[in-house]
Amino acid sequence: MSQDFRLESVGLINRDKKLSFKFNGKKYFGYEGDTLASALLANGVHLVGRSFKYHRPRGFFGAGVDEPYAIVQLYRNNETEPNIKATEQELFEGLEAKSVNCWPSVDFDIGAINNFLKIFLPAGFYYKTFMWPKSFWYRIYEPFIRKAAGLGVASTKHDKERYEHKYEYCDLLIAGSGPSGLSSAYAAAKNGAKVILAEDKPRFGGSLLTSDVNIGNQSGKDWAEGIISELKTMPNVVVKNRSQIFGYYDHNMLVMSEKVSDHLPKTKKYHPNKRLWYIRAKEVLISSGSIERPIVFGNNDTPGVMLSSAAKEYLKVYGVLVGKNPLIFTNNDSGYETAIEFQKHGVQPVILDSRKNPESEIIDEAKSLGINIKYSYVVVAAQGYKKVKSADIASISDDKKQLGKIENIKCDCICVSGFWTPSIHLASQSGNKTKFKEEIDAFVPGTSKQQETTLGAANGVFSLEETLHTSFAKGRELSKKITENDNEVSIPNVVEKKSSQHDKFWCVPLPAGKNYKRFLDFQNDVAVSDIEIAIREGYRSIEHVKRYTTLGMATDQGKTSNLNGLQLVSEIENKVVPAVGHTTFRPPYTPISIGAIVGREVGKHSKPTRKSPMHAWHEKNNAVFVDAGVWLRPRYYKRGNENLFEGSKREAKNVRTNVGVCDVTTLGKIDIKGPDAAELLNRVYTNAWLKLPVGKARYGVMLREDGIVMDDGTTTRISENHYHMTTTTAQAANVLSHLEYYLQLVWPELNVNVVSTTEQWAGAAIAGPKSRDVLQKLFPNLDVSNEGLPFMGYIEGDLFGVKARIFRISFSGELAYEVNVESDYGNFMWQKIMEVGEEFEIQPYGTEALSTLRIEMGHVAGSELDGRTIPYDNALEGLVSKKKDFIGKRSLQRPAFTEDNRQRIVGVVPLDKKTSIPEGSHLVKDAKATLPNPKLGHVSASCWSVEYDNPFSLAILKDGKNMIGEKLFAMSPLKNKVIPVEIVSSHYVDPKGERVRS
Amino acid sequence: MLYIKCPHCGMRPQIEFSYGGDASVKRPELNKEISDQEWDNFVYNRKSLRGKHLELWQHISGCRQWIKVERDTATHEIFKTFKADEEVA
């Protein structure tokens, strides 16, 4: 199939490799090295989408990252991705893409009716229209807007692609591989600096790929190729194409997205789709170049109207003519360069130059080639709906206010050049105070905040010779500072054509009697009239104008629209542009896929998984696991068809009647050593610790300085100056930091060391009336009688040759012991326990049974110690010392903490003794009271009491002390339940605590 | 992401640290009678300064030492870092 708009043997594409692709279901061909945009243009396809608000036809406007129009939905390897710029997407065999924001098709789009309703869709339309009636928002407006809006559809499938993150450090990070990037990288590399050179496009060289210049007696393109191949051989240099540095963050950290696989039909095995680089650079050189800006005129969004630099790029890089009858509309010499390229390749362009009589080498060349040039001429409006068919043109007065007689000339594209806007995004993100440079009508970087330097066109310098000189010098100077090498590199001779001053002209006035839309922001359909309305309605700050009109807010972030918008505001407001200021540049510079940001941290990799040494045994024995923080803990051990309720009930009951064993390895453990260890504990815990004898454990509660309970647990005195502290699973890390804080900062005079030993010890809780029998079998030589090892006692023993720590402590409220061995022996210990316990009908129990046991005993845990309760609330005030001071004690004197009717833990039993009360239910006096129904308390934990065989819950209840015996309602609107309940003591089982001491 | 010089370990990325608030707050001595206002100031009242701020960080994924960091809260510039027991001039 011939490509009507492809030139023979021009461009950098590989003509030996033909690629087929589909756009909107139709099959086309392109070549390796094409972008989707260039391949479509080669096939004469200009209509690629519909605009966001008015659904006007959209074509191609640029040739790269600045593209506002050509956003497509991409289909690749059975997946789909929205928001893809056709100008950036490289072609691959079998690529499929579709237009977005149009229905039923791009050719016939129903939404285009908005185009005819546009007088009803002015700036702030959404704010004004969808405000009333309020109830309509959720039901009618929002669903409607959601359907009508949007630039594509995200896939709902799990993303099978892999994304990687990489951390890198370098001396110089260079953003952009144009003339300044290449020369500074080269000079720095020669000084031995560690250099990373990043280029967002597939090809290195930037403007050198398209400009007609000569460097060191070769073409710019060849010179760039030479430099790049030399850089690639240097071990201290990393060059990366398809890599966009999109964010400049604090302390010279930049983030770069490398598209590893987007140009391929399918990601290669073991390769990521994208790689996100976090780069900490000593120095950053920003050589991001500049983006051509449009001139605003009527219907300037018609497909076929595009930047003149883009037309040149399509021609020189891809061998594609964007039109065969081009009209060039320019206010500077850049338009001439495009015209000259057309002319050289057999297409006769017409140039309209807004300037009166400009003179330069480039203009002379255009003249000598016989190009038709009209001075003091402008495009008033493009004509044609889905494609430019002709242009209304007119002469313009010297003050740019008056148009001459309007003529219509035939053309099939309009290439616009309104001069150049430096890409200052990265510099601005770094905190650079940008300044307005009058000569180029644009902002350039000013005073650096971080270690950043902007070079070349990004710095508003458009002379190649000057750029090379400053860039070589800067690369050498900065690298010398770091490496202390100073190698001279010779700066090549540059031949370029000198250009003349551009015209400070950016918007064509409307002809009398015409009301053409003149667009500023092409992606968001923001026209000149919208800005005028916003200002008329009182919006002054440029940031407000932006948000009200959506100027510069789309996925292209106003790369082509911002400056013209500023010009307009400054003109209406009669201010100079620098006084208006620009909106904040925020990362990312260009849309970055969420997958790349998330990286590998998806699914089970989203957090680490911690497993106890007995995990394999649990797995083998049908444990159903539950996440406890990052730990995986057995929730219950499934037998046959048992569900969670049945299984946990069986396990809990077996603990109450026989004996059970629970893996408690996950408990936080902190080893505390030093002569002042007791003193530390005495200050950290609310109760007294100075007189705890060796070989004894004690339960303790610690507070935050604000009086709220932070954590609880037992601490055991192993020897004179050695303690073993346990924390809850959830608070382990916080408690360690807490202790370190006080030891390092508040009481450095205390001679104590603390270290986490959570992973060093495996723990098993053996609980139930027969637990002593099991323990005796485990340690036949030890006296484990009530006298030999009393409640809260501690001894050490030999577990079949393994050193073990034995604590007589209990969370279940039964006679219970906790045995710890070094982690590597955890599995051995567990198996021995199961072995010797068999005759006593031992069963393992999981966290669900563990909860049941502690709830019916009224033992508090994380659901009560929720960061909002003080010791009294948990019935722990008996542990609060009146004599000594401790962390948080002073706060307990707060009036609210000492109120008589303060909240307190209670037990809750449903009156019908059948209905389980959902955790989180509110306790209220009157179930039928008008909303909001005053809440008296909330249910913190619920279980099925195995002791009484009915539901039982714990609750934190206002004036709980005096509420025992009251009848209330537990309400859970979430579960749609209202349950009449009776308030009872929180100590539902064994209120005197006799079992633990038996 | 900040780049913080741990006085014990050298330059480390922010992800290795956790923030610990105002370093100028002094905990009242134990067993000392103090007014509600003084205690309130210690527990709750912070200045939320714009500009130079002395703050605590803990090198939680490194040496676990608490350190003092003099940082500009507006620009994130870090001027100096100190060990826990080092006097801040």
Residue of A nearest to B57 (CA): A741
Structurally, how many domains does chain B consist of? Answer: 1
CB A531 within 8 A of CB A549: yes
Task: Say if A740 is an interface residue toward chain B (CB within 8 Å).
Answer: yes
Establish if A842 belongs to a structural domain: no
Establish if B38 belongs to a structural domain: no
State the DSSP H helix or E strand holding residue A923, giving kind and residue range, or none if neither. strand A922-924
- DSSP string covering A824-851: GGHHHHHHHHHHHHGGGT-EE--HHHHH
Range of the domain at B87: 1-25+49-89
Between A573 and A464, where is the model more confident?
A464
> What local confidence, expressed as pLDDT, does residue A267 receive?
95
The verdict on a CB contact (< 8 Å) between B1 and A890 is no
Establish if B18 belongs to a structural domain: yes
- Which residues lie closer than 8 Å to A282 by C-beta, 6 or more apart? A170, A171, A172, A252, A451, A482
The closest alpha carbon to A853, from A920, A787, A945, belongs to A945
Between A582 and A467, where is the model more confident?
A467
Complex ipTM: 0.98
Map tokens 């932070």 to a residue.
A710
Q: pLDDT, tens digit, for every residue of A700-735?
A: 999 999 999 999 999 999 999 999 999 999 999 999
Q: A588-611 b/e with 16+ CB inside 10 Å = b?
A: bbbbbbebbeebeeeeeeeeeebb
CATH number at A546 reads 1.10.10.1100
Establish if B33 belongs to a structural domain: no
> What local confidence, expressed as pLDDT, does residue A580 receive?
86
Are A63 and A130 found together in one domain?
yes
Range of the domain at A530: 518-582
Q: pLDDT, tens digit, for every residue of A358-401?
A: 999 999 999 999 999 999 999 999 999 999 999 999 999 999 99
Are A8 and A89 found together in one domain?
yes
Task: Say if A447 is an interface residue toward chain B (CB within 8 Å).
Answer: no
The proportion of chain A whose per-residue pLDDT surpasses 90, expressed as a percent, equals 83
User: How far are the Cα atoms of A14, A270, A549, A881 from residue A697, in angstroms, in the given order?
Assistant: 78, 53, 68, 18
CA distance A385 to A387: 6
The verdict on a CB contact (< 8 Å) between B30 and A744 is no
How much is the average pLDDT of A177-187? 98
Interface test with B, best of A251, A755, A887 (most B CBs within 10 A): A251
> What local confidence, expressed as pLDDT, does residue A133 receive?
61
Q: pLDDT, tens digit, for every residue of A575-588?
A: 888 888 888 888 99
Q: What backbone torsions phi and psi does residue A411 show, to the nearest 5 degrees?
A: -165, 160
Contacts of B38 in chain A (CB under 8 A): none
Mean pLDDT of chain A: 94
The verdict on a CB contact (< 8 Å) between A748 and B43 is no
Establish if A328 belongs to a structural domain: yes
Between A937 and A144, where is the model more confident?
A937
Q: pLDDT, tens digit, for every residue of A295-314?
A: 999 999 999 999 999 999 99
**How close, in Å, is residue A257 to chain B by CA atoms?**
17
Establish if B10 belongs to a structural domain: yes
Q: Decide the pairing of beta strands A350-353 and A326-330.
A: parallel
Contacts of B64 in chain A (CB under 8 A): 740
Establish if B68 belongs to a structural domain: yes
Are A96 and A57 found together in one domain?
yes
Find residues 32-61 of chain B whose CB sits inside 8 Å of chain A.
Answer: 34, 36, 39, 42-44, 56, 58, 60
Q: pLDDT, tens digit, for every residue of A803-860?
A: 999 999 999 999 999 999 999 999 999 999 999 999 999 999 999 999 999 999 999 9
Structurally, how many domains does chain A consist of? Answer: 5
Per DSSP, A108 falls in state: S
How much is the average pLDDT of A912-916? 97
> What local confidence, expressed as pLDDT, does residue A152 receive?
79
Are A281 and A430 found together in one domain?
yes
- DSSP string covering chain B: --EEEETTTEEEEGGG-EEEEETT--PPPTT----HHHHHHHHT-----SSEEEEEEE-TTTT--EEEEEEETTT--EEEEEETTSPP-
Are A276 and A225 found together in one domain?
yes
> What local confidence, expressed as pLDDT, does residue A153 receive?
82
Interface test with A, best of B66, B83, B87 (most A CBs within 10 A): B66
| N residues, chain A | 998
User: By mean pLDDT, which of A117-131, A214-228, A531-545, B21-35 is the weakest?
Assistant: A117-131
> What local confidence, expressed as pLDDT, does residue A581 receive?
85
Is residue A981 classed as helix, strand or coil in its secondary structure?
Answer: strand
User: How far are the Cα atoms of A449, B10, B21, B42 from residue B54, in angstroms, in the given order?
Assistant: 21, 19, 9, 16
CB A47 within 8 A of CB A107: yes
A141 pLDDT tier (thresholds 50, 70, 90): low
**How close, in Å, is residue B28 to chain A by CA atoms?**
9
Interface test with A, best of B6, B31, B64 (most A CBs within 10 A): B64
Task: Say if B65 is an interface residue toward chain A (CB within 8 Å).
Answer: yes
Cβ-based contacts under 8 A for chains A and B: 55
Are A262 and A298 found together in one domain?
no
Report the residue from B64, B75, B76 with minimal CB separation from A740.
B64
Q: pLDDT, tens digit, for every residue of A318-327?
A: 999 999 999 9
Are A539 and A510 found together in one domain?
no
Task: Say if B76 is an interface residue toward chain A (CB within 8 Å).
Answer: yes
Q: pLDDT, tens digit, for every residue of A200-209?
A: 999 999 999 9
Are A369 and A439 found together in one domain?
no
User: How far are the Cα atoms of A198, A837, B35, B46 from residue B40, in angstroms, in the given order?
Assistant: 53, 55, 8, 10
State the DSSP H helix or E strand holding residue A379, giving kind and residue range, or none if neither. strand A377-383
Q: What backbone torsions phi and psi does residue A329 show, to the nearest 5 degrees?
A: -120, 115
Are A382 and A404 found together in one domain?
yes
| N residues, chain B | 89
Establish if B81 belongs to a structural domain: yes
The verdict on a CB contact (< 8 Å) between B84 and A744 is yes
Report whether pLDDT(A126) > 70. Answer: no
- Which residues lie closer than 8 Å to A490 by C-beta, 6 or more apart? none
Interface test with A, best of B12, B35, B39, B46 (most A CBs within 10 A): B39
- Which residues lie closer than 8 Å to A609 by C-beta, 6 or more apart? A630, A631, A632
CB A368 within 8 A of CB A361: no
How much is the average pLDDT of A396-418? 97
Establish if A457 belongs to a structural domain: yes
> What local confidence, expressed as pLDDT, does residue A65 receive?
93
Task: Say if A720 is an interface residue toward chain B (CB within 8 Å).
Answer: no
CB A251 within 8 A of CB A449: no
Report the residue from A251, A278, A891 with minimal CB separation from B43.
A891
The verdict on a CB contact (< 8 Å) between B31 and A885 is yes
Are A263 and A391 found together in one domain?
no
Look at the alpha carbons of A55, A56, A59, A63 in this order and tell me if their dihedral is positive or negative.
negative
Residue of B nearest to A741 (CA): B66
Between A629 and A679, where is the model more confident?
A679
Establish if B2 belongs to a structural domain: yes
Establish if A615 belongs to a structural domain: no
How much is the average pLDDT of A914-928? 96
Establish if A772 belongs to a structural domain: no
> What local confidence, expressed as pLDDT, does residue A540 receive?
85
The verdict on a CB contact (< 8 Å) between A251 and B30 is no
User: How far are the Cα atoms of A25, A721, A741, A875 from residue A714, in angstroms, in the given order?
Assistant: 69, 17, 21, 17
Report whether pLDDT(A864) > 50. Answer: yes
Report whether pLDDT(A55) > 90. Answer: no
Between A866 and A629, where is the model more confident?
A866
A1 pLDDT tier (thresholds 50, 70, 90): very low
Q: pLDDT, tens digit, for every residue of B69-87?
A: 999 999 999 999 999 999 8
Q: pLDDT, tens digit, for every residue of A230-257?
A: 999 999 999 999 999 999 999 999 999 9
> What local confidence, expressed as pLDDT, does residue A604 receive?
84
CA distance A939 to A971: 10
Return the half-sphere exposure (C-beta side, CA atoms, 13 A cut-off) of residue A650: 17
Sheet holding A802-807, edge to edge: A794-799, A802-807, A816-822, A761-767, A660-663, A843-844
- DSSP string covering A763-821: EEEEESTTHHHHHHHHSTTS--STTTS-TTBEEEEEETTEEEEEE---SSSSSEEEEEE
A146 pLDDT tier (thresholds 50, 70, 90): low
A550 pLDDT tier (thresholds 50, 70, 90): confident
Neighbours of A38 (CB within 10 A): 30
CATH number at A974 reads 2.40.30.110
The verdict on a CB contact (< 8 Å) between B13 and A706 is no
Pick the last residue of a domain from A131, A159, A187: A159
How much is the average pLDDT of A256-267? 96
Task: Say if A885 is an interface residue toward chain B (CB within 8 Å).
Answer: yes
> What local confidence, expressed as pLDDT, does residue A524 receive?
83
CATH number at B63 reads 3.30.2270.10
Task: Say if A249 is an interface residue toward chain B (CB within 8 Å).
Answer: yes
Are A41 and A182 found together in one domain?
no
Contacts of B28 in chain A (CB under 8 A): 890
Contacts of A746 in chain B (CB under 8 A): 27
Establish if A634 belongs to a structural domain: no
Contacts of B81 in chain A (CB under 8 A): none
Task: Say if B64 is an interface residue toward chain A (CB within 8 Å).
Answer: yes
> What local confidence, expressed as pLDDT, does residue A583 receive?
84
Neighbours of A43 (CB within 10 A): 21
Establish if B43 belongs to a structural domain: no
How much is the average pLDDT of A622-642? 96
Task: Say if A891 is an interface residue toward chain B (CB within 8 Å).
Answer: yes
CATH number at A175 reads 3.50.50.60
Are A379 and A513 found together in one domain?
yes
Q: A317-333 b/e with 16+ CB inside 10 Å = b?
A: bbbbbbbbbbbbbbbbb
> What local confidence, expressed as pLDDT, does residue A976 receive?
93
